[in-house]
A and B are shown apart, each in its own frame.
Chain A
Amino acid sequence: GIQVEQSPPDLILQEGANSTLRCNFSDSVNNLQWFHQNPWGQLINLFYIPSGTKQNGRLSATTVATERYSLLYISSSQTTDSGVYFCAVAYAGSARQLTFGSGTQLTVLP
C-alpha cells in the first residue's frame, strides 16, 4: 500500500516562531488532508489539498503532487497550536480510504 512519512516527529517552538512540517508519500494521490489533533483527541480538518497551495489565517499548505510531498506552514505560532499534526492521503487507485502518517508532535512554549 501507499506509504506516508512525516517529519519531524517532534518539534518544540517558542511562541511566535514559524515552522514547516513535511509529508512525503510514495504514490499518486487524489486526496491529501492535513489534520490537527488537539489534546482532547479531536481531529480538526486543516486543509484538503491534493495539489496546489492554500492559506487559512496563520496556516498555509502546499502540495507538489508530481514530486509526492506536501508542506504545512505555521507562522507566528501560539500555545493553542500545540498537538499532533497528521497528513493523510488516499491512493489514486482507491478513491476512499485514507492512509495516515505517524504525525508531528508540536509543542509551543509560552
Chain B
Amino acid sequence: DVKVTQSSRYLVKRTGEKVFLECVQDMDHENMFWYRQDPGLGLRLIYFSYDVKMKEKGDIPEGYSVSREKKERFSLILESASTNQTSMYLCASSLIYQPQHFGDGTRLSIL
C-alpha cells in the first residue's frame, strides 16, 4: 500500500513565524501535491511538483512556497505565517495518470 506521511497531525504557530510542513511518500511517485481544506471552500490546490526541483503553482499559491530536493519529500513553507493560513493541510502523491493518495493531514493553527 502507498504510504504518505505528514510530519505533524496538529501544529500551533505564531503570526510571523516561518512554518515548514513536511510530506514523505514511499512509492517513488513523480507527482506530489499540497492542498488546503477550509469549511465552505472545500479542498484547493496550493502547489504541486512533477519531479525533483520542479514545482508549479496551483489555485492559491500566495503566501506559500515549496521545496522538493528529493523525490520522496515535498515541503510546504509558510514564509511569514498569518492567521488566514489557519487550515487543514493535506499532502498527496501519485504516478502520472494514476490515482492520488493522501496523507492524514495537518491541522495548523496560527495564533
Q: Which residues of chain A have a CB within 8 Å of any CB of chain B?
A: 30-31, 33, 35, 40-43, 45, 48, 86, 88, 95-98, 100-103
What is the distance, in angstroms, from B104's C-beta to the closest C-beta of chain A? 5
Knowing A33-B100, A100-B43, the reply to whether A43 touches B90 (Cβ < 8 A) is yes
Q: Is the interface of B mostly helix, strand, loop or mixed?
A: strand
Knowing A101-B42, A103-B42, the reply to whether A48 touches B88 (Cβ < 8 A) is no
Closest chain A residue, CB of each to CB of B94: A96
What is the distance, in angstroms, from A4's C-beta to the closest C-beta of chain B? 9
| Docked pose: A3 CA to B42 CA in angstroms | 13
Partner of A48, one of B45, B99, B104, B107: B99
B73 at the interface (CB under 8 A from A): no
Name the interface residues of B77-111: CB closer than 8 Å to any CB of A. 88, 90, 92, 94, 96-102, 104-105, 107
| Docked pose: A31 CA to B90 CA in angstroms | 19
Q: Which residues of chain B have a CB within 8 Å of any CB of chain A?
A: 31, 33, 37, 42-45, 48, 50, 58, 88, 90, 92, 94, 96-102, 104-105, 107
What is the distance, in angstroms, from B1's C-beta to the closest C-beta of chain A? 10
**How many residue-residue contacts, CB under 8 A, span A and B?**
51
* A41-B104 in contact (CB<8A): yes
List B contacts of A30 (CB < 8 A): 97
* B105-A31 in contact (CB<8A): no
* A97-B45 in contact (CB<8A): yes
* B43-A33 in contact (CB<8A): no
List B contacts of A102 (CB < 8 A): 42
